[in-house]
Amino acid sequence: MLLVLKHIQKRYGGVAALRDASLEVQAGEVHLLVGENGAGKSTLMKIVAGLLRADGGDFLWQGKHVQFRDPAEAASRGIAMVHQEPLLAPHLSVAENIFLGREPRGPLGWVNRREMTRRAASLIEQHRFPLQAEARVEKLSPATKQMVQICRAIQRDAKLLIFDEATASFSDAETQEVFRIVRALRDSNVGVIYITHRLEELRAIGDRVTVLRDGANVHSGPLGELSTDELIRHMVGRELGSTYVRTPLLPGDELLGVEHLTREPALHDISFSLRAGEIVGLAGLMGAGRTELCRALFGVDSISSGNIRIAGRLPCLRSPEDAVRAGIALIPEDRQRHGLTTALPVSHNLTLAGLRGVCRFGFLNHPAENRLAADYTARLRIGAHSSRQLAGQLSGGNQQKVAIAKWLVRQARVFLFDEPTCGIDVAAKAEVFRLMDELARGGAAILMVSSEMTELLQVADRILVMREGRISGELPGLASPERTTQEQIMRYAALHGRGAAAGENNE
């Protein structure tokens, strides 16, 4: 056994990323690692590659207990990770990148460039990589850049290669090329761990599969014995986190209408509408284009074609300034960076978007601002000593409430929530849901992006599913008597349109 992980645990602050993860990889096999967003796949691989240290459990490498101090130590022991975003020196050649830090030396310690290029060329030749040793890396496509990484790993005699979502952005031809190389590596007795979200890829490449869910193993075994339906069932099946129940409303007029929205290369032909009083969920795997859609609707990114209608009008959305004026609000995923200003008081954060409301001729009305801030702090039960406390001193949940309240002050009507419960505790989650419900009752339209399918099923009236920049399906939510399952969402999120339909028919 090349690699044995047993009962690995890892906590970030109070959150357990890995509770009890185990994995065994042999030399000469391709082992697939699958699971939902946040299941702990990347954390587990970072531990193997020396980027993180486990808090508990056994880590055996070639039969010996190990604990790597840093990625360099893992690399020296034969473990290499192929990153989604290749970490290469763009201005250097392919050969220089392959030998980076291990350049063949001449007699006086100079780099022997000719020898380096020759050895790189023979390595490329031997594995039939579509590369040229002297090409500059910045001119290569993402797929070929990844091959340079693979070359580097092979040059260092890697015994285990980890591919983390390696082919997420590749075309079919490029993916096939990577697969060919992965198979060749396997045949030369290298162990490969392959993380992927694309379920149809699995059978083309994998020998065995391990499924992680909520930081623990749910299944491990040969891929051939597992049907796709079983696999999906293993991946989802997450337990309901809280007992929040929402009663849907009768939706009113359309507030947001999106027609054929396209932004190359992230979003393709997206059409949907949001009506007043509606909460619509937006599901999808990492990289499906959900955040990109929010950014486009909010004017952060320009769109290549298509229409965005707000309450029957077609405003020009070239910046968030335009979007805010049109009544759109974005509660961004990265709260600390985009959602609030941690170094300013809660009150200043609350009035930032709607500052005109407490101004006269450009002058601030401090008493009015303070009253407003105190009012919202109390109404949303924001846990702050006073509205003068700095926003950065609040807990994640309270920061989120501030980020939302900013838009209540502004009286926005279309709300885009991007991962609104990311990094906040269960009690705060329920309060955020309550707040969203209140907004919907007040006539707002809400689009809620979430990677937690259980949340979407608890809160959303309808659920849109995105996959590779398209809406791949729409499922009924609370408003419908038939209950959507997590398996259904996962099928639309992870399988091609055809696969999704076939899965439906099987039931």
Angle, helices 228-235 vs 486-494, to 10°: value is 110
Pick one of 172, 187, 363, 482: the residue that binds other proteins (CB under 8 A).
363
Least distance CB 339 / other proteins (angstroms): 6
In terms of CB distance, is 97 or 399 closer to other proteins? 399
In the three-class reduction of DSSP (H, G, I as helix; E, B as strand; rest coil), residue 387 is classed as coil
Q: Is 255 in the site for other proteins (CB under 8 A)?
A: no
Shortest gap between Cβ of 399 and other proteins (angstroms)?
11
Residue (309 or 338) nearer to other proteins, CB: 338
339 binds other proteins (CB under 8 A): yes
Contact 36, 213 (CB under 8 A): yes
Which residue bears the tokens 């009083």? 277
* In the complex, minimum distance from the CB of residue 299 to other proteins, in angstroms, rounded to a whole number: 9
Residue 248's nearest CA partner among 421, 441, 488 is 441
Nearest-angstrom CA–CA distance, 154 and 102 = 13
CB of 444 to other proteins, least distance (A): 17
Q: How far is the CB of 97 from other proteins (least distance, A)?
A: 30
- Nearest Cα residue to 167 out of 140, 146, 138, 141: 146
Question: Min. distance of Cβ 200 from other proteins in angstroms?
Answer: 37
Shortest reach from residue 321's CB to other proteins, in Å: 5
How many residues bind other proteins (CB under 8 A)? The answer is 30
- 182-185 contact pairs (CB < 8 A, 24+): 182/30, 183/30, 184/127, 184/128, 185/150, 185/154, 185/161
Query: Is position 340 an interface residue for other proteins (rule: CB under 8 A)?
Result: yes
Q: Radius of gyration of the chain from Cα atoms?
A: 25
Quote the longest CA-to-CA distance of the chain: 81
Q: Is the peptide bond before 420 cis (omega within 30 degrees of 0)?
A: no
Show contacts with other proteins in window 341-360 (CB under 8 A). Answer: 341-344, 348, 352-353, 355-356, 359
Residues 306-335, interacting with other proteins (CB under 8 A): 319-321, 323-325, 330, 332
Q: Counting Cβ atoms within 10 Å, is residue 118 exposed (0-12), middle (13-18) or buried (19+)? A: middle
| Residues 274-313: x where in contact with other proteins by CB under 8 A, - otherwise, as a string | ------------------------x-x-------------
Does 238 participate in binding other proteins (rule CB under 8 A)?
Answer: no
Where does this chain bind other proteins (CB under 8 A)? Answer: 298, 300, 319-321, 323-325, 330, 332, 337-344, 348, 352-353, 355-356, 359, 362-364, 366, 406, 410
